[in-house]
Amino acid sequence: MKTYLITLILGFISTLGFAHQPEVSSTVLAQKENNVWVLQISASLTAFQQEINIHYADTPYKTPEEFREMVIEHIKNKMNLKVNGAQLNFTNGAVHLGHETKVIFEVQELPEDLNFIEVTNTAFEDIYNSKSFLVVLKDGVDENKFVLSKDNGYHANLLLTGNKLVQNQESQASLFSWPLIAGIFGLLFIGLLVARFKSKQAA
């Protein structure tokens, strides 16, 4: 566990620059003692303010406490986590305001064995060119970092292979193959219609 404490500290240092970069955030899922897990979302205060102003425009906050409540609700609405196919819940949310603002939840009912992890975090999708660095910290699993961005729908599907988390290539293939197949059939259909139209004109 000492290794993970050091890693978390290093992660904290590495995200200090995010305070002035609203398009950059971090999403950290970390195991503590007794299989207790926490989820930490870190970003600049400006990034959180922009999102809250967009999604709660009809009910603007008046106090820091109201802002915290909106942030917690916003993250719960925009964050989705599945482990081994099971949907997980976030509890005991806390917001630590600052130039770099952190939102921390406890994650309930995480199994001991992590085979598949599916993460979606669209909390900052309204910010131009936003991206979130995803890190999973678990005893016995190598350090890792993945990027959630508009290009992948702010989504990562991870597979534990040995002591490494890797992108689930099979999932990615299935995600992109159906649109590709549909596009090919669409082009073929249009081609057939054009050919039929030309043949009628020739007749």
What integer pLDDT is reported at residue 2 of this predicted model? Answer: 47
* Residue pLDDT, tens place only, 110-146: 888 889 999 999 999 999 999 999 999 998 899 889 9
Is 33 within 8 Å of 138 (Cβ atoms)? no
pLDDT-derived band at 23, boundaries 50, 70, 90? very high
Are both 159 and 189 inside the same structural domain? no
Is 42 within 8 Å of 28 (Cβ atoms)? yes
- Token representation of residue 55: 């999604």
Average pLDDT over residues 99-106: 95
Are both 130 and 198 inside the same structural domain? no
Are both 118 and 198 inside the same structural domain? no
The yes-or-no verdict on residue 95 having pLDDT over 90 is yes
pLDDT-derived band at 93, boundaries 50, 70, 90? very high
* Residue pLDDT, tens place only, 26-79: 999 999 888 889 999 999 999 999 999 999 999 999 999 999 999 999 999 999
User: Distance between CA atoms of 10 and 32, rounded to whole angstroms?
Assistant: 16
Are both 12 and 106 inside the same structural domain? yes
Are both 177 and 163 inside the same structural domain? no
- With tokens 């939102």, the residue in question is 103
Are both 178 and 161 inside the same structural domain? no
Strands 131-137 and 24-31, by their bridges, are parallel
Are both 202 and 142 inside the same structural domain? no
Are both 37 and 78 inside the same structural domain? yes
Are both 96 and 162 inside the same structural domain? yes
pLDDT-derived band at 198, boundaries 50, 70, 90? low
Range of the domain at 41: 2-167
Average pLDDT over residues 88-103: 95
Are both 161 and 182 inside the same structural domain? no
Which helix (H) or strand (E) element contains residue 135? strand 131-137
Better-scored residue on pLDDT, 110 or 150: 150
What integer pLDDT is reported at residue 187 of this predicted model? Answer: 54
Instruction: Please tell me the pTM assigned to this model.
Output: 0.76
**Degrees, nearest 5: CA angle 152-42-20:** 95
The residue among 27, 37, 65 whose CA lies nearest residue 158 is 27
The yes-or-no verdict on residue 6 having pLDDT over 90 is no
- Tell me how many domains the chain contains: 2
- Token representation of residue 79: 């964050």
Average per-residue pLDDT for the chain: 82
pLDDT-derived band at 186, boundaries 50, 70, 90? low
**Degrees, nearest 5: CA angle 83-86-11:** 30
- Token representation of residue 1: 């566990």
What integer pLDDT is reported at residue 168 of this predicted model? Answer: 83
Are both 102 and 185 inside the same structural domain? no
pLDDT-derived band at 196, boundaries 50, 70, 90? low
Residue 129 in 3-state DSSP?
A: coil
Are both 111 and 156 inside the same structural domain? yes
